[in-house]
Amino acid sequence: MRRKDNGAAMLLAFTIFAIILIFLGYNLLIIVPMRENYTLERLGNFRGILKPGLHIVVPFIDRIAYQHDIREQVIDIPSQSCITKDNIRVDVDGLVYLKVVDAKRASYGIGDYITASINLAQTTMRSEIGKLTLSQTFAERENLNESIVTEIDKASDPWGVKVLSYEVKNISPSKGVVHTLEKQMEAERQRRAEVILASAERESQILVSEGYRQEAINHSEGEKQRRINEAKGRAREISAVADATAQGVKMVAAAIQKPGGDLAVKMKLTEQFVKKVENIIKNSSVSVFPVELATLKGAVDSLMKKSKPSRASHQGNGQSHPRQEQQYSVPSNPPSLGGF
């Protein structure tokens, strides 16, 4: 009976000892995950930062005070009302991306760095929105994000937190402002359309005028070239006529120097005189007869008779035939074309 009691007591003692060992082992060995850092305190004082891995601590003396996620965290910033530089109310929300870089300062530098980051992001956002007009808040969103990140990062540096980026999600004006903006955009589109149409009309008129101008230039150039060509042709014609006239004058002068040449010239002048008088009489409604016309036939016969002895003197038979010569008187004033 005593043996049974001794066995039960030993079993109980062994069980209690095993439980104590397990409890001590659980509190003695600490495994830190890869994504976290632990803050270790000993008797209420900061002992150190436990990095990812297996660590041995003193049970009941050391304790894990804080656990921090060292991964990048995304915090949603609630929507809030902001007033722009041109006194327009808008609702703005966003996202802030941050990361714990110093677990000690994150543990003892501030009570709750997440809440503090949200409040700081909201106040910074209101401040930055107040520096911009409504149109600038839409057009300069990238600059707005950079400004907010810079301001939050400066303030959160003592907390052991690094703000990586900030993104504005929505900028929502009131319904009245949206209606006004729609009207403004419609008016701007109409203005641009009118400007484009006016520019197109102006360009069209410029092109048409340039076409007319070029056409006029081409016509003037063609007219100029035509006149130049005609002048050159007339010059060549005059030159050719002058050359022919000079050549004819030379031939006439040479012919006059020969025997009987002066008589031939007088006959030619008389023939031209008769033709001119004939044309005047035909084309005129009044008949005009000059005084010298009555003696014209006698002058012609006299010239013909005087030319016959001149030709007979050049014949080669050497015989002379006595012949009675008759003298004809030629008018002292030969017929000329100046009287008509």
CA 113 to the chain's CA centroid: 54
Average pLDDT of the segment spanning 43-52: 88
> pLDDT tens digits for 1-28?
556 666 677 777 778 878 877 777 677 7
Residue pair 104/78 in contact (Cβ under 8 Å)? The answer is no
The rounded distance, in Å, linking the Cα atoms of 175 and 181 is: 10
| pLDDT at position 324 | 39
pLDDT surpasses 90 at 196:
yes
pLDDT in tens, 119-172: 988 898 888 888 888 888 888 888 888 888 888 888 888 888 998 888 888 888
**Residue 193: per-residue pLDDT:** 92
- SS3 at position 302: helix
**Superfamily of chain region 73-173:** Band 7 domain (3.30.479.30)
pLDDT confidence band for 286 (50 / 70 / 90): low
Q: How is the chain split into domains, by residue range?
A: 2-69, 73-173, 175-257, 259-311+328-340
pTM reported for the whole predicted model: 0.49
pLDDT at 194 exceeding the cut of 50: yes
pLDDT band at residue 206 using 50, 70 and 90 as cut-offs: very high
Please tell me the distance from the alpha carbon of residue 41 to that of residue 55, in angstroms, as a whole number. 14
DSSP H stretches of helix in 160-295: 175-257, 261-283
Identify residue 6 by its one-letter amino acid code.
N
